Amino acid sequence: MIEVEVKARVKDPKLVERSIVALGASPIGIETQADTYYSAPYRDFAKTDEALRIRVQDDKYFLTYKGPKMDTVSKTRREYEVEVNDANCIGDILSSLSFSPVATIVKKRKKYRLGDFIISLDEVRNLGDFMEVEISIRDSKSYEEKVESIFRLFEKLGMNRDESIRKSYLEMILERS
């Protein structure tokens, strides 16, 4: 699966939320997520632009691998995710294979659906407020078109492409350390 995604910092989350609702987006729900990212013993994920994480989302757990970003304007990348029964066990398995936890990112996420788009308003601990717009596709043939459609949605929300951020929350947290 390819996750086509664009993210931006949000100065006024309530204003953006009102704009999202005014466009006809439907609320999906509110989630609390704690993402623990791991480094590999055999290559530097920061240099290869990859990510491996365990996500605790309310009472569910996910193991996710994200490949390198596919372009220079968005956060589009291949993503493989599987729900797991026990986050601690997966963490122990990764540690046994010499993977090391790097950082944990905690956020409160409000999610909306607008057509094929998932719009997330994130309140990220120690980073602030952000909006992510994403759409999942099966192959890379149409991803550039999807990126442009996300930027058009940004414009409808009063934002422009120059406000987009390609850095992950992990990259931002590590820069602050």
Specify the CATH number for the domain of residue 120.
2.40.320.10
Q: Which of 110, 174, 121 is nearest to 7 (CA)?
A: 121
The number of domains in the chain is 1
Q: Give the model's pLDDT for residue 143.
A: 84
Catalytic residue among 37, 38, 61, 112: 37
Contact (CB, 8 A) for 52 and 44: no
Q: Which of 140, 146, 1, 137 is nearest to 79 (CA)?
A: 1
Q: Give the model's pLDDT for residue 100.
A: 97
- Residue span of the structural domain in which 92 resides: 2-176
Q: Give the model's pLDDT for residue 142.
A: 82
Q: Give the model's pLDDT for residue 110.
A: 98
pTM for the model: 0.93
Is 65 tagged catalytic? Answer: no
Contact (CB, 8 A) for 69 and 165: no
Which residue has tokens 């220079």? Answer: 72
- Show the low-confidence residues of the chain (pLDDT under 50): none
